[in-house]
Structure 1
């Protein structure tokens, strides 16, 4: 992945007393669309008194704990209280929005001037999909407590370091502390008495769901039903059209810049490079908590950024295909089928886990749990005649055994729509 280096960032990784480690890394310019297009956020709206808005809550005392966004502002979340039979059930959803990496085309310093790096720019939002509080649109989880955690650290809620750019600007890579501070505050707001809990997330938040799944489980008594649903977070270490491993370059930059090793599986770190252990294919081998993976075989973000990133192909030969799978030639479809084969192969570890579930459709999309249209509606994608909402509900509540569905090749599924 091509980058333009224009500033130096000194990173200080937090380690036990007596240990110091200083690293100089290059940081590339901001590419806002990467984060904005895949924010993993329910519909964001301007702050006003419109009905249906869920207000922003800043985490109390977070700054004193060093649990801060890239710019040093406190982390935040949106909380909608449950009711009736759902009053002791909780969903915690981790927002997505790419990464702040030494190798990507967006800078950490630029990111902190947006809602992906500072709570100063965050606004109230509306809830949709798995957050919807209407039973027809969200039959199993409509009346649960729902917390949508904003993403402002740039490392899937996993880093623990800080840095300083050449202009003297300080940057805080404190995703792990944000995770701990938010969960602690939610526990103090009633999640500690939950009978059921679900950790979920989209894109970079889906990866975070895998990284924190077992830790989330460990925060509750054994008798509490705790499960995880990563959505659109199964990123592949695949070669792009030019033969480069673009996603690995991004993840390696995140791992080195933000010091994420503390959240990586120890058994993986004993055998492999930390960057390997940041990929879902390795993470799922170590997760013991029941997990339901929602992903597309033709994930639109990965087609555009992993398989066919700009610069990996001559001219505009892939421009139309990467934006709309319906425009792909038969040869291009064969390349995308290769991505599908690799995804299915890397999901084998999940297929072999009895309490796990899968909804792997063939739709050209990215993140499907947080929108009514893809979560549960007459036009939602279906596998085995079940929407994602129905499949997740059947799995979570044990209404069906073996809820593991992997779709046929594109364009076989008419419920994907256009």
Structure 2
């Protein structure tokens, strides 16, 4: 029987040819990483994957899924009307009163059709969610993998609304193929439940998220700070979430158009800062650069300068390369020719320029490496291990902890590709 991870990837490849490619790409990030996080030189033997369980420690605890108890009364539903969920692992010892929340990623849906497809997956329905998952990386309870946060109360928030926990029900269709756009209500119900089981007494707290979950982190960061004790240390971390408002290789604003559709479909405006939505075209306030301009809470950005998701969906989206000149480059940065690398370097420069506005702010931490990857905090292999990506000999975990505990100002900006030999660069060529 074929590997179930591979079957999922093949389904994703088929979906990606539809008009909802950007949403579909995000669906299987977890599968992609578990199967395919590939170093240029370490993991390929005769074209095959050498360790299909890469990044998952056998010692990590399995953590049960909890469905929100108050969700039905609050009207907080996943896309299909099922109850949202989370995984909770109680803290111990010195971490008993500290909390780490991590919002999973998984793209967005921008049409009724794509949201209807999405509700048949774990990213739109708790019916399809694993009842147990392993905590690793930033959620690990192993001090060797997670030296500063291992003993904290840890929560993985499942993502099932398709709009970064920011949607509102105004555009729901009451008959026919029912979809629930309740992201904001899910967020509020979830936080209320966590407050009732100890979060309200937190001494230290870190709200984090990956990809679309990192965007949700930025959207809700200040509100999260406002719900916790004034004397608590509260900060936020966004991993692979700084999505750019850049033109693609044909000069089209593909990502801006896509975000506009998500914004309109799920009535996201009410979850965004009014100062922004009244100052410009409102859907542009869904971009992280605009959100961060108004954030008051300290935030840390973990971001690959060559984010494969953004290269494949913002810079070279499906349909922008009908002749297939970019096919091999999109699958592995090592396949890019000189002209393509020049364009990728320009994309990196645009990213760094967008970040430059925040560099003077001491409370904004940055770890920007030169890897062809996406999320890096949720797996031990890239969060903190002997072979993790490093900048100036520091892993992501060490850099984040130095920032969180105010050990030092952290502004780690890597040199351009291919300068960093510690990168785990994704390579999809064996799969496609």
Q: Normalising by structure 1, what TM-score?
A: 0.88
- Return the offset for 1:107: 1.0
| 1:352 aligned residue | 360
1:83 alignment partner, one of 65, 79, 92: 92
Answer yes or no: is 1:250 the counterpart of 2:245.
no
| 1:56 aligned residue | 65
Runs of 4+ aligned residues of structure 1 deviating over 4 Å after TM superposition are 27-33, 39-45, 162-167
Report the CA distance shift for 1:334/1:183 in structure 2 as closer, same or farther (over 3 A).
Answer: same
- Return the offset for 1:293: 0.5
| 1:338 aligned residue | 346
Aligned to 1:171, the other structure's residue is in SS state coil
Report the CA distance shift for 1:42/1:312 in structure 2 as closer, same or farther (over 3 A).
Answer: closer
- For each residue in 1:362-406, what CA deviation from the matched residue of structure 2 results, as whole angstroms up to 9, or x when unmatched? 000000000111100111111121000000000001112x20111
- Return the offset for 1:52: 2.3
Distance in 2 (alpha carbons) for counterparts of 1:349 and 1:285: 9
Q: For residues 249-328 of structure 1, what are the structure 2 equivalents within 5 Å?
A: 249-328=257-336
Answer yes or no: is 1:403 the counterpart of 2:394.
no
Q: For residues 150-229 of structure 1, what are the structure 2 equivalents within 5 Å?
A: 150-161=158-169, 163=171, 168-229=176-237
Q: Is the 8 A contact 1:162 1:174 kept in 2?
A: no
- For each residue in 1:91-147, what CA deviation from the matched residue of structure 2 results, as whole angstroms up to 9, or x when unmatched? 1111110101139xx611111111111111111111110011000110000011110
Report the CA distance shift for 1:40/1:229 in structure 2 as closer, same or farther (over 3 A).
Answer: farther
Bigger mean CA deviation after superposition, 387-396 or 264-273: 264-273
- Return the offset for 1:30: 7.8
| 1:120 aligned residue | 127
Report the CA distance shift for 1:42/1:78 in structure 2 as closer, same or farther (over 3 A).
Answer: farther
| 2:29 aligned residue | 38
- Return the offset for 1:89: 0.4
- For each residue in 1:168-206, what CA deviation from the matched residue of structure 2 results, as whole angstroms up to 9, or x when unmatched? 011111000000010100011111111000000000001
| 1:131 aligned residue | 139
- For each residue in 1:324-361, what CA deviation from the matched residue of structure 2 results, as whole angstroms up to 9, or x when unmatched? 00000011001001111111111122212121100011
Distance in 2 (alpha carbons) for counterparts of 1:343 and 1:362: 12
Q: Is the 8 A contact 1:42 1:370 kept in 2?
A: no
- Return the offset for 1:32: 7.7
Distance in 1 (alpha carbons) for counterparts of 2:31 and 2:269: 24
Aligned to 2:224, the other structure's residue is in SS state helix
Count of aligned positions: 385
What 5-or-longer segments of structure 1 have no aligned partner? 1-26
Q: Please, what is the CA RMSD of the aligned residues?
A: 2.2
- Return the offset for 1:85: 0.2
Distance in 2 (alpha carbons) for counterparts of 1:405 and 1:159: 34
- Return the offset for 1:236: 0.4
Q: Is the 8 A contact 2:170 2:267 kept in 1?
A: no
| 2:118 aligned residue | 111
| 1:68 aligned residue | 77
- Return the offset for 1:263: 1.6
Q: Is the 8 A contact 1:43 1:127 kept in 2?
A: no
Report the CA distance shift for 1:314/1:132 in structure 2 as closer, same or farther (over 3 A).
Answer: same
- For each residue in 1:31-82, what CA deviation from the matched residue of structure 2 results, as whole angstroms up to 9, or x when unmatched? 885133325999699xxxx982111000002112111100111110000111
Q: Is the 8 A contact 2:71 2:77 kept in 1?
A: yes
Aligned to 1:415, the other structure's residue is in SS state coil
Answer yes or no: is 1:100 the counterpart of 2:100.
no
- Return the offset for 1:164: 5.5
- Structure with greater proportional helix content: 2
Q: Is the 8 A contact 1:79 1:148 kept in 2?
A: yes
Q: Is the 8 A contact 1:40 1:367 kept in 2?
A: no
Q: Is the 8 A contact 2:70 2:193 kept in 1?
A: no
